[in-house]
Each structure stands twice: as C-alpha cells, then as structure tokens.
Amino acid sequence: MIRKLNFTGRKKIPKSLISIELVPDGNRQFSFDATFNLAELALPPDAEVYAEAYHHASYMRFSYGKIGKTVIPTERKLRQIEPGAFPLFRVKVVKGGRILASADKIVPRSSADEPKGKLSLLPVEFKDLADLIWNLDLSSERPVLQLNDRIDGIKDIARIDQQFFALVYPDVIRQILRTILIENDYADADSDEDDWQSQWLRFAEGLPGVDKVPSDKYPGVEEDRETWIEEVIMVFCKKWKVREKFLQALQQEPE
Amino acid sequence: MSVEKVRVFNEKGIELFRQYLHTLGENPKAAPPKQLLNNPNLCAEIGEVVKVEERSFTTRLDAAQYFSRVFSGVDKGNVDQNAGLWSWLSLYYFDHVCPSDAEGNRAPGRDYRHIPDRSYRYRHRHLLAGPYQAFQLYGDRAMILLCTPVQKENAFHHEIAGRQILMSNPAIMETVSSLYLDEKTKKPKFGSQSHGKPGTIRRFVDVMQQLDLTYDLYSMSPEQLLSLLPAEFDGWKGTISPAR
C-alpha cells in the first residue's frame, strides 16, 4: 500500500460531512445545492468556507460565509462550466489565505433520488455525441459515462432499460479496469479512499467471489490482470443476471 | 479571397484526415486532401451558417481572435470540444498549421496537433482549438500563451493550459504575464522557457503546484502570489529582459 504523508497541516474534510446535489435547469446546465456539517472539525469560526466547481479548465467558486455563520449564496448556477458537462467539486476552509481544511474531487449527486452518502462511482453527463449513443470519457478527473442528449428519453433508457444495461455496463467496467490496471499500471485498492482508481478496484474486489487484484510486479502480471478483469466482468454479469434480464427484455419487445 | 462554409467531419472524415497525416511520414510531399472538405459523405455543415476565409495568421492569438469572431453566434457546446469541427478546420488551414519547408516537405508532428484528442494530457494541444479555448478564458490577456506562429506551441501554453488549477486562475495568469512577458516586444522574456534554470516557467509551475497544497491561490491577488515566490524568481520581477 502507498502511504500518503500530509506535511501541510491542513485537515482533510471527510466527504461524509458534505452533501452536494446537481440541479439541472433543463438547458444542459446545472445549479447545485450544498450542505456542510463542519462543526466536528473544530475550525476557527471566522474561517471562510468555499465550494468550487470545476470541469477541465472551467471553474467557478462560491462563498458560503464563515464557519461560525455559513451563508448559502443565492446564485448557484454553474454558468461557466461547459454545458452538459459533469463537474466535480472541492470544498475549502480558508483563513488569511491559508487552507485550513479541504476536500477535493467530490462527486455530486446527480438527482435527489440518489441516496446521500452513497459514492457515485460513475457520474453521467449528457452531451451531443453526434452518432454515438454513449461514450466513456476517461480524460477527466474520473471516468464519466456520456450519453447522447440528442436521443429523447436517454436518461430513462440508461436508468431502467435492461438491454442498455446488458450491452453497455460490462464494457464500461472492462474499459475502466483496463485503464487502471493495464494502461496506468495501478493496482492499489487500499491506498487512498478518495482516489477513483482505488475506489473502482475496491468495488471490483467487493463482488462475490472475486479475488484480490494482482498487485505485485512480476513477469506476466499483465496477463494475470487481464484474466482478473474478465473474471470481474463475469461475476458482475452473474450478480445482476444480465443474460436473463436481456432475454426477458427481448421477449417483451413488440413484434 | 476564398470563403467556405464551415463543416464538421464525421468519423470517416476524421479517419481519412488521420490517414493523410500518417502518409506524410512516408511521403512528406503528399498534398493535403482538400477534396475531403466538401464531400457530403464525410462532413456536414455546422447547424448555423458559419463561414471562414482563406487567410494567414500572424500568431496563435491572431487565429484565436479570428475563430472567436467566426463562432461568436454559435452554441459553445457545438464548438469547444467538437473534434470533427477542429479537424476540418485543420485541414482547411493545413498550409498554416503544417507549412511545407523549402523542399516542399511537411512534418505534421503528433496527431493531436491536428485532430483533437479527448485525453486530459493532450486536449489543449490542438493547434487551432487550443488557442481558441485559451482565448475564450482570457481574451487578449492570453498573449503570453499565444504569441508564437500558429504551427508552434510555446512552453507557456504547454505548461499552463493542461493544468486546471493554473489555467482556471486569472491571478496566476496575470502573475505569469507580469513575470515573463516583455511588454515592449509582446513576447516572452529571453530564457524564460529554458529547461533546468532557476525561476523559469517550468519552475513556476512546480512552485505553484506546491503552494496550492497550503494556500488558497484563488483568493490571492497577483501581488500576493508574487510575494510567495522564492528568491529564484526575483530576477524576473519587473525586468524587461534578464541579462543573457
């Protein structure tokens, strides 16, 4: 396990103390609602609280007043974030220009339906993908499933359509695990609870009957990792009865 | 002057353009396949009627200003990350983004210079889209990033544009200009892009990334940022061009 040392003196804000929810405006842009429960961190009451949204080089910052008296900003529309893009957030507590506490790479809930405190491994964003139905964007801070907003009802299709689930999600998982284990040569599931790669490896290891990821470096480890990935996909499909549900959905289709 | 409706390559159009770029590796005198530009099987007009003209650009800033005017009435979502659009424009302006040398040879470099790459490391490296995106954020204040000829990316754009914490912070951009831009020539000060020397742009990036762990850089003014810099940067403050 890689241990990370913090020499900065800055506190880490547990993500369980932060809740951020995106609110779509119907025009491919979002505003957001955020609540913080920072009392237990014993920070100075006059320290300032900021929430920052970012996606690639686009960035917006919102002041939430002070620890002793937080003030929710009235304007929370993410105007400067690329339309349709799924932003991440960071929260900072600052005094005299110094960061006293922070949390970064916060994945907001994309709807009120998502339970609070549950980690969203795969944020979804809607954008014009021309003739593609979906795309896995691996170029951002963490993997994002992009869906083509030219397709009416794509949000519901992705949420409840069993054929979509069967055809898309196993491949999404395969692409993500290959990126982590083969391209990035990263195999540490335990090092950092906030690192998206570790989160995905822990998700895979948590599937029933899946062994620990081959993390050592030895000749042939790449082949072993490829095999492990395929095992994960098989277990995922078995757990979610992918074939059975796919066939059911086919039979329900109108002639 | 030739004027053309802007089009967007589909996957096939992009692929044929990519094949041409690879052809140049074997045959550097191969002529650009301009016939692809208006082949209806390979590209479509952008939603709004938008036109470009055959022209040259003095700098990357000049190109960014031009495309900013061209796309001023177009939904940003159809422009910023549109790989088909920027690939089409690269081929249209190929004599500028990949000029031939005295022998008529062209050296296009990596594909992402001409066909936008979605990856975090390379998305800003497209020779036309990269400057356009920097200009969208900073306008003429992006001068230090975009003062080179259109086919040449300088170290400032290379080092800054790919890093979110730097590129999204106006105070950092202003600090970079204040340290390294020669206001007289509107070009980077001599030596500011060198490797392995104290106080150059590469060291600035290292130091800012370190300071970002401790300081709230977004709340700081350029003067405050300058005051945080170690002594190795003193030679760049307020100088026109340091001693060679």
| pLDDT tens track for A19-47 | 999 998 877 788 999 998 898 899 999 99
Q: Please indicate whether, in this complex, the C-beta atoms of A99 and B215 are within 8 angstroms of each other.
A: yes
Candidate from A28, A98, A139 with C-beta closest to B214: A98
For the ranges A124-128, A226-230, B24-28, the lowest mean pLDDT is seen at: A124-128
Q: Which residue has the higher pLDDT, B1 or A171?
A: A171
> Please, which pLDDT band fits residue A178 given cuts at 50, 70 and 90?
very high
Contact predicate A41/A13, CB 8 Å? yes
The pLDDT value given to residue A74:
95
> Please, which pLDDT band fits residue B181 given cuts at 50, 70 and 90?
very high
**Mean of the pLDDT values across residues A48-72?**
92
Handedness of CA A128, A130, A132, A136 (dihedral sign): negative
**Which residue blocks in A22-161 are alpha helix, DSSP H?**
154-160
| Rounded Cα distance, B98 and B138, in Å | 26
| Rounded Cα distance, A175 and B200, in Å | 39
Q: Please indicate whether, in this complex, the C-beta atoms of A138 and B119 are within 8 angstroms of each other.
A: yes
pLDDT surpassing 60 at residue A250: yes
Cite the beta strand spans of A131-210 per DSSP E. Answer: 134-137, 144-148
> Please, which pLDDT band fits residue A255 given cuts at 50, 70 and 90?
low
Tokens at A151, concatenated: 């397709």
Distance from CA of B219 to the nearest CA of A (A): 7
Provide the percentage of residues in chain A whose pLDDT is more than 90: 43
pLDDT digits (tens, 9 = 90+) for B81-139: 889 999 999 999 999 999 999 999 999 999 999 999 877 678 889 999 999 999 999 99
Top mean pLDDT of A16-20, A192-196, B33-37 is at: B33-37
| Rounded Cα distance, A30 and A147, in Å | 16
A127 in contact with chain B, both atoms CB, cutoff 8 A:
yes
B35 in contact with chain A, both atoms CB, cutoff 8 A:
no
Strand partners, A32: A22
| Rounded Cα distance, A211 and A189, in Å | 12
Displacement of CA A182 from its chain's centroid (Å): 21
Distance from CA of B50 to the nearest CA of A (A): 19
- Residue in B118, B216, B225 to test binding to A, most A beta-carbons within 10 Å: B216
| Rounded Cα distance, A123 and A127, in Å | 13
A62 in contact with chain B, both atoms CB, cutoff 8 A:
no
Handedness of CA A186, A192, A197, A198 (dihedral sign): positive
Q: Please indicate whether, in this complex, the C-beta atoms of A52 and B10 are within 8 angstroms of each other.
A: no
- What's the half-sphere exposure (Cβ side, CA atoms, 13 Å) at B61? 14
Candidate from A57, A83, A94 with C-beta closest to B133: A57
Candidate from A61, A82, A98 with C-beta closest to B80: A82
Q: Which residue has the higher pLDDT, B36 or A159?
A: B36
> Please, which pLDDT band fits residue A4 given cuts at 50, 70 and 90?
low
pLDDT surpassing 60 at residue B54: yes
Backbone angles phi, psi at A94, to 5 degrees: -130, 140
Distance from CA of B87 to the nearest CA of A (A): 15
Provide the percentage of residues in chain B whose pLDDT is more than 90: 75
B213 in contact with chain A, both atoms CB, cutoff 8 A:
yes
Q: Please indicate whether, in this complex, the C-beta atoms of A83 and B213 are within 8 angstroms of each other.
A: no
**Mean of the pLDDT values across residues B191-220?**
92
Q: Which residue has the higher pLDDT, A140 or B73?
A: B73
pLDDT surpassing 50 at residue A131: yes
The residue type of A102 is S
Tokens at A114, concatenated: 């998502």
Contact predicate A47/A93, CB 8 Å? yes
> Please, which pLDDT band fits residue A8 given cuts at 50, 70 and 90?
low
A245 in contact with chain B, both atoms CB, cutoff 8 A:
no
Neighbours of A128 (CB within 10 A): 17
**Mean of the pLDDT values across residues A98-121?**
76
Chain A partners within 8 Å of B81 (Cβ):
82
Average pLDDT, chain A: 86
A139 in contact with chain B, both atoms CB, cutoff 8 A:
yes
pLDDT surpassing 70 at residue A105: yes
User: What's the pTM value of the predicted model, to 2 decimals?
Assistant: 0.74
Q: Which residue has the higher pLDDT, A135 or A84?
A: A135
| Rounded Cα distance, A56 and B74, in Å | 21
| Rounded Cα distance, A140 and B216, in Å | 23
Smallest CA–CA distance from B77 into chain A, residue: A83
pLDDT surpassing 60 at residue A233: yes
Contact predicate A57/B145, CB 8 Å? no
Q: Which residue has the tokens 């990821």?
A: A213
| Rounded Cα distance, B194 and B202, in Å | 8
Strand A124-127 versus strand A144-148 pairing type: parallel
Distance from CA of B108 to the nearest CA of A (A): 24
pLDDT surpassing 70 at residue A228: yes
Chain A partners within 8 Å of B137 (Cβ):
57
| Rounded Cα distance, A44 and A67, in Å | 7
Q: Please indicate whether, in this complex, the C-beta atoms of A84 and B164 are within 8 angstroms of each other.
A: no
Give which of A94, A97, A76, A98 is closest to A22, Cα–Cα.
Answer: A76
pLDDT surpassing 70 at residue B2: yes
Q: Please indicate whether, in this complex, the C-beta atoms of B214 and A8 are within 8 angstroms of each other.
A: yes
Displacement of CA A190 from its chain's centroid (Å): 17
pLDDT surpassing 90 at residue A128: no
pLDDT surpassing 90 at residue A227: yes
Candidate from A54, A58, A139 with C-beta closest to B120: A139
> Please, which pLDDT band fits residue B186 given cuts at 50, 70 and 90?
confident
A50 in contact with chain B, both atoms CB, cutoff 8 A:
yes
pLDDT surpassing 60 at residue A115: no
| Rounded Cα distance, B115 and B13, in Å | 11
**Mean of the pLDDT values across residues B153-175?**
92
pLDDT surpassing 60 at residue B20: yes
DSSP A66-101: ETTEE---S--B-TTSPTT---EEEEEEEETTEEEE
Q: Please indicate whether, in this complex, the C-beta atoms of B216 and A57 are within 8 angstroms of each other.
A: no
Chain A partners within 8 Å of B167 (Cβ):
57
Contact predicate A171/A134, CB 8 Å? no
Distance from CA of B73 to the nearest CA of A (A): 16
